[in-house]
Amino acid sequence: MAYSLVVFDWDGTLMDSTHHIVAAIQGACRDLDLPVPSASQASWVIGLSLEGALRHAVPDLPKSMMPRFLERYRVNYLLRDPELKLFEGVREMLEDLARRDVRLAVATGKSRVGLNRALAASGLGDAFHATRTADETFSKPHPAMLHEIMAELDVLPERVVMIGDTSHDLQMAANAAVHGVGVTYGAHTRKELEGCAPQAIVETVAELGAWLASRN
């Protein structure tokens, strides 16, 4: 199958940010004297919209405290913002796909403000033909992000592959009737990814790049 559109998740797939997100959730809980979720509990929700994620990661969070929690989460996350980097090899992989005339997109649980900041900081603002964030449409695993990207770029589902590090990404791909590929270097375990029956599961960016190149 030759793909004309590759859609990437951002956190844990292109950006090495999983540990930063987990630390920000845990830090916000400490700031507000709430039970602190384990790293595995906090990492499971990565890829969901932030408010949706918190309902799972911090079930004891009263609705009235949500604004304060979101503020403390953002403070804890932004403290680590300068440390965030793309995974090694990501930039070269994207450049190789572009040379092959493959269109690129992002579907992420980040907010629009957060994604725009990350794109600017990474220098990838011009790399993608379309992007969708969780505050613009339905959150994963709802297929809306992929449906909207495909409509915008006029690409059929059979020519699309979604790349992500969580079962939320792969379930969204299945719900949108597109292929999915899981990466094990992000938030979810291989077993969780295997449960979504993706086309492939890869362990490194280099392996992902080689898999995509072999199909384009």
Among residues 9, 16, 165, 169, which one is catalytic? 9
Return d(Cα 101, Cα 95) in angstroms, integer: 10
Residue 205's identity, in one-letter code, is V
Q: Which of 11, 16, 165, 169 is catalytic?
A: 11
Per the annotation, the verdict on 33 as an active-site residue is no
Catalytic residues: 9, 11
